[in-house]
Structure 1
């Protein structure tokens, strides 16, 4: 009874935010423009503010003309000064935390500033909104009668020149209020353990006897943990262990290749999957409807959005548009200005809009992670979907995959070469390969045109990875766990060659 009362009270508190969410969906451009001018006003006495004369900027147009778009490499010198203790460079308040992020593949780490403002009014606000939107759609939820199983980064926090750096998840866990800690499992100490394999064992031991009602984590890594739990407890599915589990909040990578496996782990119609879109740079979008495959762009987190159409990206004709000028079903690179002092920063993700009223998006990939060697413009969204459809047709589960081009040589045509780790290999790999190739053609007309009569591209090539190949590959790079991701697509063969060498 007491838990039920707590559940009702917390749900009521969280759902009070719905009115504000409805407000920014009704007046998106007004909310975004006011937010931008507030950010400019706050930072006008910073080094960046003086350089671009923020004091005289009173419109988006002036801001866009005056401040250049930038990648991390261009702002790194300012961030390094900030990490050494200098203040008021790009944001007026001192920056204590830096989220260490190497993205998917970069060998060199990035240090993304996380201001106190961003921590409270972006990341934590988003966490509450994620629950708010879920609860608003599921009135009978008993979420707070149990605990949330979370799987965060496996790196500790490190102090350096009076600043602190580490995985964003470690920063968030380190700053969680006590009431959030009480509702989570495993505890903070276990969540921040460094050694991945030992951490897995400890989490299994701590969580298998808890009443888990929700789960939170990156699909690929959480799947490893959940399979360990199944193996340890000898259950056939996880509802036998956690009968009150009702929702999995996921993000970080596409859920498409993993959805079937999660449905087997939680085999009931009412179990929900809710996607969120967050990164070291900020929290951007949250699924706002049951069974949807897109997310509501959150417009009042202290982040101002701009977008670069991918057909102009990195060309002499590159242009940037505001939210008011985006179009449906077109791929855009995301540019953000934030309450942590990132000004017109290209985060490296690509999205497309599925709705303009309200603004809803789907992640389509990364600006650096696509294949366009032969004019095929293949995006991660295409390969994830095609592989999921093919795996379902052949009743197999995919663990991981990556794709690279086979370059034209002499009179030979090009192709795409895959390496796929299956839970169990398809009984007819040739038929699987043919179906996968056809599914990609259905989803991508440019690929279809290049494949027509093998005009430019031959049929794709598949290498079957030995068990745990990708795990081993990440281990060799000290990238096990947390927010590390497999590079899905690349115009280079570097990752593929490393994996094939390891596979042999």
Structure 2
């Protein structure tokens, strides 16, 4: 199989001109995408409702269609799941990616069309491979197996012809037959939905394989790695799989996990970040040295960017690529070949470079702390946790934080619930380093902390191991793409999780 490696590498790199084409002509590429979307969408019910047949410019498009959140399109989704067609898009919708917030029990069902699979998710996956080979021409990546730590799969109870599952499950179920030759484990294990059993079967069934890459959310991948090392008695994954060369991650920030992964996997394994959501494959790391992820511009998605201060206004303004700036916070708005029209994804992001356009995800519109004007985003929190952990030589496996409001005898503060893999000798010292890091990263936080006038020192509580998993399990969200919200602007979620901590 290694004899094929140079040929595979050459073929992958030959495709790079396609990527360079839209990288070098980003505005034109996006205009072409929008034209294709409108051409399809004008024949669907929503397209007729908003008069897409009369839309001939981006300005017309934005004037015709309002910004949508999930509840705005939920009536269409329910009809689609009952078997109706031609509502959001003019080709059948037979699949839905189930994606749910962790603050309530309700799930979102994002429509997946054949176009969004082929021209979006799968095309983007090929581009990710091309970009990797472009910078690593001597790679043997495809001579072994890719271990996929995926989600679960179920058949919808509403209609036997309509199926749904986590995005990873939908992609696995629809992947071409040949992909099974370079993937592990077998589909029946990959799609198990009971995670304790799944981790065990994943570990047992893959130990003897020649695994060259792993892809999955860091939280669950770490659990799998630890189980594999426990079974084999090895210190690192490189001892188990000598040809392992790449870990592809996404779903949550990798910043708090990077050092832990380096120790677990061993020397010589590269890390590559992607931004692949239920709504579309948005971005991927195109270069090992680049700051941020390259925005994918010709994959069936038209992008708009809403300055975060516009959120909540009656007619929020959005801008296109030619007007964005680096370092500013935007909420992502997409129109897709899956039938989403000016859909507010909910993620916040900022541009790290322009031409080419690279981004980093900074958090969620509703996941931040600003109870005192401090405007702490998830990106700040992840970096601060990583800095404090490194200084004190501790390992954090998960965390969440929320404000403690002013009381008669005290001013406010932030309360952090932290589950440590390696505990600090002194929790107060960890709180101090966390505070110092946040001051360095966020000037608004630093100002509010000045002389403890608005904010006093953070309150950090170390939770017993497995507390967050117990909470996720209670919500039916253990495993896959589900994760604990990092930050909240009220105490409801934090108090819920505290209830699962058996001190």
Q: Distance in 2 between matches of 1:420 and 1:293?
A: 28
- Is the partner of 1:357 in helix, strand or coil? coil
Q: Distance in 2 between matches of 1:422 and 1:53?
A: 54
Q: Distance in 2 between matches of 1:113 and 1:218?
A: 22
Q: Distance in 1 between matches of 2:284 and 2:73?
A: 28
| Contact kept in structure 2, 1:383 and 1:440, CA below 8 Å | yes
Q: Distance in 2 between matches of 1:131 and 1:453?
A: 51
Q: Does 1:493 align with 2:495?
A: no
- Is the partner of 1:254 in helix, strand or coil? coil
Aligned counterparts, 1:88-487, within 5 A: 88-158=86-156, 160-161=158-159, 162-268=161-267, 270-315=268-313, 318-487=316-485
CA shift for structure 1 position 85: 1.2
| Contact kept in structure 2, 1:440 and 1:447, CA below 8 Å | yes
Q: Distance in 2 between matches of 1:171 and 1:180?
A: 14
Q: Distance in 2 between matches of 1:443 and 1:179?
A: 47
1:12 equivalent in structure 2? 10
Residues 52-82 of structure 1: per-residue CA shift (max 9 Å, x gap):
1111111001111111001000110011111
Q: Distance in 2 between matches of 1:13 and 1:176?
A: 20
| Contact kept in structure 1, 2:400 and 2:417, CA below 8 Å | yes
Q: Distance in 2 between matches of 1:149 and 1:230?
A: 15
| Contact kept in structure 1, 2:291 and 2:352, CA below 8 Å | no
CA shift for structure 1 position 311: 2.4
Q: Distance in 1 between matches of 2:38 and 2:311?
A: 26
CA shift for structure 1 position 291: 4.5
List structure 1 segments (4+ residues) > 6 angstroms apart after TM superposition: none
Distance 1:169 1:33, change over 3 A: same
Say which of 71, 75, 78 aligns to 1:77.
75
2:37 equivalent in structure 1? 39
CA shift for structure 1 position 10: 2.8
Q: TM-score, normalised by structure 1?
A: 0.97
Q: Distance in 1 between matches of 2:500 and 2:408?
A: 28
Q: Distance in 1 between matches of 2:35 and 2:315?
A: 27
Q: Distance in 2 between matches of 1:298 and 1:386?
A: 29
Q: Distance in 2 between matches of 1:144 and 1:434?
A: 46
Q: Distance in 1 between matches of 2:40 and 2:60?
A: 17
CA shift for structure 1 position 318: 3.1
| Contact kept in structure 1, 2:282 and 2:296, CA below 8 Å | yes
2:22 equivalent in structure 1? 24
Residues 82-106 of structure 1: per-residue CA shift (max 9 Å, x gap):
1111111110001110111103434
Q: Distance in 2 between matches of 1:166 and 1:139?
A: 35
2:53 equivalent in structure 1? 55
Residues 349-400 of structure 1: per-residue CA shift (max 9 Å, x gap):
0110000110000000001100111111110000000000110111111110
Residues 237-278 of structure 1: per-residue CA shift (max 9 Å, x gap):
11111111111010000000000011101232x421000001
Q: Distance in 1 between matches of 2:157 and 2:3?
A: 41
Instruction: Provide structure 2 residue ranges, at least 5 long, that are not aligned to the other structure.
Output: none
Q: Distance in 2 between matches of 1:157 and 1:22?
A: 40
CA shift for structure 1 position 293: 4.4
RMSD: 1.3
| Contact kept in structure 2, 1:333 and 1:350, CA below 8 Å | yes
Q: Distance in 2 between matches of 1:156 and 1:293?
A: 38
| Contact kept in structure 2, 1:32 and 1:299, CA below 8 Å | yes
**Between 99-108 and 353-362, the greater mean CA deviation after superposition:** 99-108
| Contact kept in structure 2, 1:287 and 1:296, CA below 8 Å | yes
Distance 1:284 1:451, change over 3 A: same
Q: Distance in 2 between matches of 1:21 and 1:372?
A: 39
Equivalent pairs counted in the alignment come to 501
Residues 327-369 of structure 1: per-residue CA shift (max 9 Å, x gap):
1110100000000110000011011000011000000000110
Q: Distance in 2 between matches of 1:354 and 1:44?
A: 35
- Is the partner of 2:422 in helix, strand or coil? coil
Q: Distance in 2 between matches of 1:483 and 1:291?
A: 27
Q: TM-score, normalised by structure 2?
A: 0.97
